[in-house]
Amino acid sequence: MNAPSVGIDLIEIERIRQAMQNDRFAERLFSAEERAFFAKRKNPYPGLAANFAAKEAFSKALGTGIRHFSLNEISVLRDEWGAPYFVFTGNAAKCAAGKRFSVSLTHTDTLAQAIVLAVLEE
Protein backbone atom coordinates (compact mmCIF):
# COMPACT_ATOMS: atom_id res chain seq x y z
CA MET A 1 0.00 0.00 0.00
CA ASN A 2 1.32 3.44 -0.90
CA ALA A 3 1.54 6.02 1.86
CA PRO A 4 -0.52 9.20 1.66
CA SER A 5 1.30 12.28 0.44
CA VAL A 6 0.96 15.78 1.79
CA GLY A 7 1.51 19.28 0.46
CA ILE A 8 1.52 22.58 2.31
CA ASP A 9 1.82 26.21 1.21
CA LEU A 10 1.84 29.62 2.86
CA ILE A 11 1.40 32.95 1.06
CA GLU A 12 1.12 36.64 1.91
CA ILE A 13 -2.40 37.90 1.26
CA GLU A 14 -1.09 41.28 0.11
CA ARG A 15 0.84 39.60 -2.69
CA ILE A 16 -2.38 38.12 -4.07
CA ARG A 17 -4.28 41.41 -3.58
CA GLN A 18 -1.73 43.23 -5.70
CA ALA A 19 -1.61 40.54 -8.36
CA MET A 20 -5.41 40.44 -8.66
CA GLN A 21 -5.37 43.97 -10.06
CA ASN A 22 -4.35 42.26 -13.32
CA ASP A 23 -7.36 40.51 -14.89
CA ARG A 24 -5.07 38.22 -16.86
CA PHE A 25 -3.46 36.99 -13.64
CA ALA A 26 -6.89 36.21 -12.19
CA GLU A 27 -7.94 34.26 -15.29
CA ARG A 28 -4.68 32.28 -15.39
CA LEU A 29 -4.88 31.27 -11.73
CA PHE A 30 -8.55 30.98 -10.84
CA SER A 31 -11.45 29.17 -12.51
CA ALA A 32 -14.60 31.03 -13.54
CA GLU A 33 -16.41 29.40 -10.59
CA GLU A 34 -13.81 30.67 -8.12
CA ARG A 35 -13.84 34.18 -9.58
CA ALA A 36 -17.66 34.27 -9.39
CA PHE A 37 -17.64 33.03 -5.79
CA PHE A 38 -15.11 35.63 -4.63
CA ALA A 39 -16.70 38.47 -6.62
CA LYS A 40 -19.56 38.33 -4.08
CA ARG A 41 -17.24 38.85 -1.12
CA LYS A 42 -16.57 42.23 0.46
CA ASN A 43 -12.92 41.27 1.06
CA PRO A 44 -12.07 38.38 -1.28
CA TYR A 45 -8.29 38.46 -0.85
CA PRO A 46 -7.82 36.16 2.16
CA GLY A 47 -9.93 33.50 0.45
CA LEU A 48 -8.22 33.97 -2.91
CA ALA A 49 -4.83 33.66 -1.24
CA ALA A 50 -5.97 30.49 0.57
CA ASN A 51 -7.20 29.04 -2.74
CA PHE A 52 -3.87 29.86 -4.38
CA ALA A 53 -2.05 28.17 -1.48
CA ALA A 54 -4.31 25.11 -1.94
CA LYS A 55 -3.34 24.84 -5.60
CA GLU A 56 0.35 25.04 -4.69
CA ALA A 57 -0.15 22.47 -1.91
CA PHE A 58 -1.98 20.19 -4.37
CA SER A 59 1.01 20.26 -6.71
CA LYS A 60 3.30 19.39 -3.80
CA ALA A 61 1.05 16.51 -2.71
CA LEU A 62 1.22 15.19 -6.29
CA GLY A 63 4.98 15.40 -6.08
CA THR A 64 5.23 17.00 -9.51
CA GLY A 65 5.09 20.70 -8.85
CA ILE A 66 3.02 22.73 -11.29
CA ARG A 67 3.64 20.69 -14.42
CA HIS A 68 1.28 19.24 -17.00
CA PHE A 69 -1.71 21.35 -15.88
CA SER A 70 -2.84 24.96 -15.44
CA LEU A 71 -3.77 26.37 -12.06
CA ASN A 72 -7.18 27.46 -13.36
CA GLU A 73 -7.97 23.77 -13.99
CA ILE A 74 -8.07 23.36 -10.21
CA SER A 75 -11.10 24.89 -8.51
CA VAL A 76 -11.18 25.20 -4.73
CA LEU A 77 -14.87 25.56 -3.94
CA ARG A 78 -16.90 25.49 -0.72
CA ASP A 79 -19.70 23.15 0.29
CA GLU A 80 -22.87 24.28 2.07
CA TRP A 81 -20.98 24.31 5.40
CA GLY A 82 -18.09 26.32 4.00
CA ALA A 83 -15.68 23.37 3.83
CA PRO A 84 -13.29 23.56 0.88
CA TYR A 85 -13.08 20.87 -1.77
CA PHE A 86 -11.39 20.43 -5.15
CA VAL A 87 -12.92 20.18 -8.60
CA PHE A 88 -10.47 19.26 -11.35
CA THR A 89 -10.83 19.78 -15.09
CA GLY A 90 -8.58 19.27 -18.11
CA ASN A 91 -5.06 18.07 -17.47
CA ALA A 92 -5.40 18.62 -13.71
CA ALA A 93 -8.16 15.98 -13.69
CA LYS A 94 -5.81 13.57 -15.47
CA CYS A 95 -3.05 14.26 -12.92
CA ALA A 96 -5.46 13.77 -10.01
CA ALA A 97 -6.94 10.53 -11.37
CA GLY A 98 -6.71 7.59 -8.98
CA LYS A 99 -6.27 9.74 -5.89
CA ARG A 100 -8.57 11.37 -3.35
CA PHE A 101 -7.66 14.78 -1.95
CA SER A 102 -8.55 16.54 1.28
CA VAL A 103 -7.81 20.23 1.69
CA SER A 104 -7.79 22.52 4.72
CA LEU A 105 -7.46 26.31 4.54
CA THR A 106 -6.69 28.98 7.12
CA HIS A 107 -5.61 32.60 7.21
CA THR A 108 -4.64 35.44 9.50
CA ASP A 109 -4.82 39.13 8.64
CA THR A 110 -1.64 38.83 6.56
CA LEU A 111 -1.04 35.17 5.66
CA ALA A 112 -3.04 32.35 4.09
CA GLN A 113 -2.16 28.68 4.32
CA ALA A 114 -3.38 25.40 2.87
CA ILE A 115 -2.58 21.77 3.49
CA VAL A 116 -3.53 18.98 1.11
CA LEU A 117 -3.59 15.26 1.79
CA ALA A 118 -3.58 12.87 -1.18
CA VAL A 119 -4.38 9.15 -0.87
CA LEU A 120 -4.65 6.47 -3.53
CA GLU A 121 -8.22 5.40 -4.26
CA GLU A 122 -8.88 1.73 -3.70
- The predicted pLDDT at position 1 comes to 45
7 touches 61 (CB < 8 A): yes
pLDDT tens-place string over residues 20-69: 999 899 999 999 999 999 999 999 999 999 999 999 999 999 887 777 89
| pLDDT surpassing 80 at residue 117 | yes
Residues linked to residue 114 through DSSP beta bridges, in sequence order:
9, 105
Q: Quick check: is 42 catalytic?
A: no
In this prediction, residue 8 has a pLDDT band, given cuts at 50, 70 and 90, of very high
Q: Give residue limits of the domains in the chain.
A: 5-120
Q: Quick check: is 60 catalytic?
A: yes
Domain 5-120 class, CATH top level: alpha beta
- Rounded distance, CA 9 to CA 113, Å? 6
In this prediction the pTM is 0.93
pLDDT tens-place string over residues 92-105: 999 999 999 999 99
> What value, to the nearest 5°, has the Cα angle with vertex 91 and ends 99 and 18?
100
14 touches 52 (CB < 8 A): no
Choosing from 40, 55, 99, 107, the catalytic residue is 107
Choosing from 40, 42, 55, 60, the catalytic residue is 60
- The predicted pLDDT at position 23 comes to 85
- The predicted pLDDT at position 2 comes to 73
In this prediction, residue 9 has a pLDDT band, given cuts at 50, 70 and 90, of very high
